[in-house]
Structure 1
Amino acid sequence: MKTERNILTDEKWNAIIHNDASYDGTFYYAVKTTGIFCRPSCKSRVPNKKNVLVFDTADAALERNFRPCKRCRPNGLRLPDEEWIAQITEYIDSHYHESLTLSVLADMCHGSPYHLQRTFKKIRGLSPIEYIQIKRLTKAEHLLLYTDKTVMEIALTVGIPNTAHFATLFKKRTGSSPTAYRKTAGKGRGEIHYE
């Protein structure tokens, strides 16, 4: 049963949206959609109020499987780099079709763009943007082989709104245009069954 202390009151919400450091240590807030918890003074983007849970202690948030914020380090806790990058990779895998920039990812994961870029490259061996591009183009290959969507529809589906740019990226990765890939790779796979 929730006590008054664990309810997101207007006072606590105002502390969160105004990054009020005077509330640090009195409560922590977690964001259900990111799985991260913060101090009230955290400078991260203001979350959607309906996704916020309030905890008396950092340990209580940890017990509910929330991870400490990389930016504000609640109670001095730190998220290991490997786990942080795995969390970001999972987010990319689920949202690759959206407009993802280094700034958007850094904001979402409560880190700076520079630190995210450097840490992601150290752990994964490529930049976050390179990873997003590979994810998008791999999905495009699948869509070219197993659907009857046009090249333009596929480009939009994987998050690359400019068809000419999509074709250039695709050719750089595969060595052929999307249309040629569909014809030649489809023949090598036998009859294509559209989904």
Structure 2
Amino acid sequence: MVITDEIWEIIKNNDKKLDNRLWYGVVTTKIFCKPSCMSRLPKRENVKLFCSPKLAQSEGYHPCKRCQPMDKILTNEMLVKEVDLILKNCYKEELSLEELSHRLHSSSSYLRHVYKKTKGVTPRQQLMMIRLEQAKTNLLTSNASISEIAQSVGLMNTSYFIKVFRKHYGSSPNQYRKMIKNKFNKFLKSR
């Protein structure tokens, strides 16, 4: 479906004319909305049109919490799953609470409250755990430098990465890599 200038104007102006007849998805966030949604206007090139909410869902899009395009309330559990999906798939990006709330069309304070109440950690803490687990994997499966590994998981400050890694795992990334490789080599020699 092509986004005509007329349809774009309806979306830009949050017009209700096409509500329940047309839905638009934002490619970068995988969220879909009614044309009247009051959320921040996406870039036109990031918008995809759908003739039904089911079609949007079949392509991996999730309903907006703000406009509720399926006329169903997005539960807290669904919101937490959406946060987890973004964190898992986008951990390399700079993901502030504000960015998460923007992507999910929710307020940052509400998002943080619901997530912490449900999971026992904040979205930021969960993001760091995902990054550290991925860094651990990268340490064991590549010969990349510590700096390269830090950057590959979205942490641009290498010394901060080392500090957080040490606090979480009890050793620096380099020590961890050497320790695991030594254990593996001993295991191979014992066979």
Tell me which interval the TM-score lies in, with the shorter structure as reference length: 0.7 to 0.9
Pick closer, same or farther for the CA change 1:35–1:138 going to 2, 3 Å. Answer: same
**CA offsets 1:127-184 (integer angstroms, 9 cap, x no match):** 1100110011111111112211111111111111011111110011001111111111
Q: Please report the TM-score for the alignment, with normalisation by the length of structure 2.
A: 0.83
Pick closer, same or farther for the CA change 1:167–1:81 going to 2, 3 Å. Answer: same
Letter in 2 for 1:104: E
2:53 touches 2:70 (CA, 8 Å); kept in 1?
Answer: no
Letter in 1 for 2:40: R
**Residue aligning to 2:145:** 150
Over the aligned positions, Cα root-mean-square deviation in angstroms equals 2.3
Matched, 1:80 2:72: no
**CA offsets 1:90-117 (integer angstroms, 9 cap, x no match):** 1211110111111111111111111111
**Residue aligning to 2:8:** 13
Matched, 1:181 2:176: yes
Superposition pairs for residues 56-71 of structure 1, below 5 Å?
A: 60-65=52-57, 66-71=61-66
1:37 aligned counterpart, secondary structure = strand
| Aligned equivalents of 2:68, 2:56: Cα separation in 1 | 17
| Aligned equivalents of 2:183, 2:43: Cα separation in 1 | 48
1:190 aligned counterpart, secondary structure = helix
Letter in 2 for 1:180: Q
Query: Offset at 1:63?
Result: 4.7
2:73 aligned counterpart, secondary structure = coil
What's the % identity of the aligned pairs? 35
Query: Offset at 1:118?
Result: 1.2
Q: What stretches of structure 1 of length at least 5 have no aligned partner?
A: 1-5
| Aligned equivalents of 1:154, 1:17: Cα separation in 2 | 41
2:25 touches 2:49 (CA, 8 Å); kept in 1?
Answer: yes
| Aligned equivalents of 1:67, 1:161: Cα separation in 2 | 30
Q: What stretches of structure 2 of length at least 5 have no aligned partner?
A: 187-191
2:185 aligned counterpart, secondary structure = coil
1:189 aligned counterpart, secondary structure = helix
2:31 touches 2:62 (CA, 8 Å); kept in 1?
Answer: yes
**Residue aligning to 2:86:** 91
1:96 touches 1:136 (CA, 8 Å); kept in 2?
Answer: yes
2:143 aligned counterpart, secondary structure = coil
**Residue aligning to 1:131:** 126
Question: How many aligned positions are there?
Answer: 182
1:183 aligned counterpart, secondary structure = helix
**Residue aligning to 2:36:** 41
Query: Offset at 1:24?
Result: 6.2
**Residue aligning to 2:135:** 140
Query: Offset at 1:48?
Result: 3.6
Query: Offset at 1:41?
Result: 3.2
Pick closer, same or farther for the CA change 1:80–1:63 going to 2, 3 Å. Answer: farther
**CA offsets 1:21-41 (integer angstroms, 9 cap, x no match):** 454636432234434321233
**Residue aligning to 1:3:** none
Q: Please report the TM-score for the alignment, with normalisation by the length of structure 1.
A: 0.81
